[in-house]
Structure 1
Amino acid sequence: MFLRVSTMNFSRILLLNALGVLLITSWWVPYFTFWSTLDDAVFWWFNQTIGDDHLRWTEILAALNSRRYDIFTILCMLGIMGWASYRDRQGGWRRWFGIGVTMLITAGLISEMVRHVITYGHPSPTVTFDEVNLTSSFVEFVTKDQAGNSFPGDHGIMSMIFAGFMLTFGDRLTRLASIALTLLAIVPRIMVGAHWLSDVLVGSLSICLLLLPWVLCTPLASRMSASVTAGLKRLESSLPLNKSNRS
């Protein structure tokens, strides 16, 4: 969606920003019940599949919302970036190290901005409704199935930032892999009711559509990652081992 650019692409920035504003507006407009109706329908459709009658499925959902799965997702992100660096015949791992550092800085800044700027919040559907099926009631390990404030989806924001960078700097295969992993990271939270669908499709996506283009559709990300890569090369050249090899 973003694609690498060497100059500022105002038309793409404005288009993506407009989509973000449209999403927020469609959710915020009074008496427009599309998102609330869809939220309820999606939650109850999945919630009825949780319980003793579908115990194996319930255990799978619980596992997909555990801390171990979060760690697995992060390792998969690192794996995709490693795969991208292997397929990158020009820049290699040094270039992707710079991209990774730039992505972490971007994610940290956006996270802080969201935390301080967005004051609205609401509880997850499993907290909002009574008599719901909680995956944590059917398993003996710790799993996430509710949140006091589920808006916007934090998993969604971080996963979409990763996907945005891969769409910008990766090739076709790694782009597809990043999109698939993003879905695998986000969807389980919705399925167990830890997030409303709109927490992700409105909250997370609109934030990324409003902020990420100013990083990825401008030379900013490319220049930042190139600077990190250049600094890494200078550091390598200053190491005693490299000096002895040159002599």
Structure 2
Amino acid sequence: MDFVDRVLSLQGNSSIRKFSLKCETGVPPARVNRWLCEVLQRDVSDIDLTIDLGYGYYLPEELFVSETLVNLKFKSAFNIDWWPGAEGTSLPMLKSLCVYAVRVFCDDELQELLPCFPVLEELQMSNMQWLDSDETVSSATLTTLHITGIRSENPKSISFDTPNLLSFVYTDFVAEDYPLVNMKNLSLARLALRANDDQIKRVRGPNNDLLEYDVVRHFGNVVKLMNGIQNVQELHLCPDTLEVRFSVLFFLLC
């Protein structure tokens, strides 16, 4: 801890372009946030954090109003409630945001988050707890979108309005609907669309009109997602995604 203090002190008031910090339980959170606030005052553009201070740690509010921050990476071995919400957040220069944790919580929906980052090109969220069952990811600047979602049930609808997206990696439960999928320039897609054990059992079981209708209601609109990425150059599908996709095609052809 004293080492970080000495290094920052030796820099005087000079600008700091990159700041990387890795710390574990035992470091006072207030001290960590003091270091972050100090580099933010020195016009830092790149911050790479690995912070394992236990549950209940919050990043300083100053981090979300930086006029110079371009790249932000945050990793934690704990659950993190990393973002305080859209109100009062402004990162006009941020181009890359990567958050990795056991579970990532956001206080607002993604459609509220993205306008706070008007030039964002890369968004990676690992193990994100979706706030709502109806979500929209809309950004004209995004070129890379990697999301691993965590939820206990199938979402009602997920829309992607990302016309300049090049790389799309997406893991989540199958949604009941994909109203809008705008990814005309996609180069790479990796999809892991999950279903619960009961839904997989119904797909594999004998035909039953009532059960088949239920499966199609949950899975049928996957066609919209696949049609939305039909121009992709390289496509990777997990086994569950393939099973969902072909079960829908089989039902529609019968």
Q: TM-score, normalised by structure 1?
A: 0.20
Q: TM-score, normalised by structure 2?
A: 0.20
The structure with more helix, counted as a fraction of residues? 1
**Which gives a bigger RCO, structure 1 or 2 (Cα 8 Å, sep 6+)?**
1
